[in-house]
Structure 1
Amino acid sequence: MNNSYPDWRLEGHYFETCNCEVACPCLWLQPPTEGNCKLLAAWHIDKGHLEDVGLDNLSVALACYAPGTMIEGNWGAALYIDELADTAQTEAIIQIFSGRAGGHLSVLMGFVSEVWGIKSVSMDYQHSCDIHRLIIPGIAEAEIQSIQGIAGGNATIHNPPLCVVPSHASVVSKSNYFRYQDNDQAWNFSQRNGFHSPFIYQP
């Protein structure tokens, strides 16, 4: 652990979906399918803490727009925090997901040049073996479904150059729907890229 950062750890499940074709070329540091990337990532924290603040059973989402190849940065992003979080939990989540607490989220947030906003919202995060779904009423609805591999089981990608979760292999998926409307953005896609996996984040 890096002693310059607070003691924290999150574990749970996550999924993401974007406007790229399956599988997203951004993982390989290539330009997005449509020249830009419109991404929604969502996490459900099964177990977590920052110092003595417990973060179990809370959800978080990030809407993100990259105007070109993602590794080049200049992302715009908005953070959504489960309204079930109290003030201390909200502040802890902001500290972690802004990247100020270190770890892989610090790497990802280093690409963000414009923060559209941070909101406390109602969030319904659901997941099973094959389906991951998020509903933020009036803002976002997304559902992805796992793609099966040729040898059986889920198709996966392990250790790409760029990813949201480095701790686990990503299950390649396809969106059943993906809608987002907020911060002067209006996205509506289906049958596009998705990934999901367990996650562990820490400094």
Structure 2
Amino acid sequence: MALDEVGTVPWTIKGELILNCNCTVFCPCVVSLGKHPPTEGHCQAWSGIRIDEGQYGDADLSGLNVGLFLEIPGNMGRGNWKAAAFIDDRASEEAYAGLVNIFSGAARGSTGLFGMLVGEFLGAEREQVVFETEGNERRLMVGKKIQGAVVPVEGKDGKDIVVTNTEYWMGPDITVAQATKGRVRAFGRVWDFEGRSAEICQIDWKGPR
């Protein structure tokens, strides 16, 4: 693909996203849209995306998984993020290239803000990325680099607590969750966010507009 085509290729991703960060209570970024600082003053997070249906140009993304590494020095909206992507090793060369473009922000559209907010894209790596659901627990395993699991927080009558109708970049409805496991060993970082804030979101992303 010619470089001048990046940012013009139509793409879509439908599926589910999970995220676990170092916030001690539910992530304030969801409702403040990044205007409120993380509870610890900075954000460290891992995320997993299960793609149920997706395409990048002619490349089929359906059935693939992606892991993300995120480090944000302060308020989310102020940028200077560090980010990396772990791409499912089952992806074709075309799908791999498309997913790198999407998660670096180069493909524009729903994830285009990455291009503005990420000051240092640490790169993309092929990895075995496993996204499993058992009962209400979602698990992400990225080789030996990320071992994570999240569960929804129960509200009244045992139903999930959901923050609805937001303008959050991931999607309007965010299920409040908590990590039952949150270990990261990547890029010289060693994190463990078990028991801390997590999110579950049904995603319907597209680009380049």
What TM-score do you get using the length of structure 2 for normalisation? 0.89
User: Which runs of at least 4 in structure 1 moved beyond 4 Å after TM superposition?
Assistant: none
Partner of 2:177: 173
Query: Once the 2 structures are TM-superposed, how far is the Cα of residue 117 of structure 1 from its aligned partner?
Result: 2.1
Is 1:127 the counterpart of 2:130? The answer is no
What does the per-residue CA deviation read over 1:145-196, in whole Å, with 9 as the maximum and x for residues that have no partner?
1011225421011243544x12x41110000110111111111121100111
Aligned-partner Cα distance in 1 for 2:101–2:29: 26
Using a 3 Å threshold, how does the CA distance of structure 1 residues 108 and 159 change in structure 2: closer, same or farther? farther
Query: Once the 2 structures are TM-superposed, how far is the Cα of residue 26 of structure 1 from its aligned partner?
Result: 2.1
Partner of 1:47: 53
| Bigger mean CA offset, 172-181 vs 149-158 | 149-158
| Bigger mean CA offset, 69-78 vs 124-133 | 124-133
Partner of 1:160: 166
Equivalent residue letter for 2:159 = G
1:1-203 alignment, distance < 5 Å? 5-27=8-30, 28=32, 29-128=35-134, 130-150=136-156, 152-163=158-169, 165-166=170-171, 168-203=172-207
CA contact (8 A) 1:35 1:68 kept: yes
Using a 3 Å threshold, how does the CA distance of structure 1 residues 178 and 134 change in structure 2: closer, same or farther? same
Query: Once the 2 structures are TM-superposed, how far is the Cα of residue 7 of structure 1 from its aligned partner?
Result: 1.7
What does the per-residue CA deviation read over 1:116-158, in whole Å, with 9 as the maximum and x for residues that have no partner?
2210001111125521110112201111110112254210112
Using a 3 Å threshold, how does the CA distance of structure 1 residues 101 and 64 change in structure 2: closer, same or farther? same
CA contact (8 A) 2:106 2:115 kept: no
CA contact (8 A) 1:22 1:173 kept: no
Equivalent residue letter for 1:21 = T
Give the share of equivalent positions with the same residue, in percent.
27
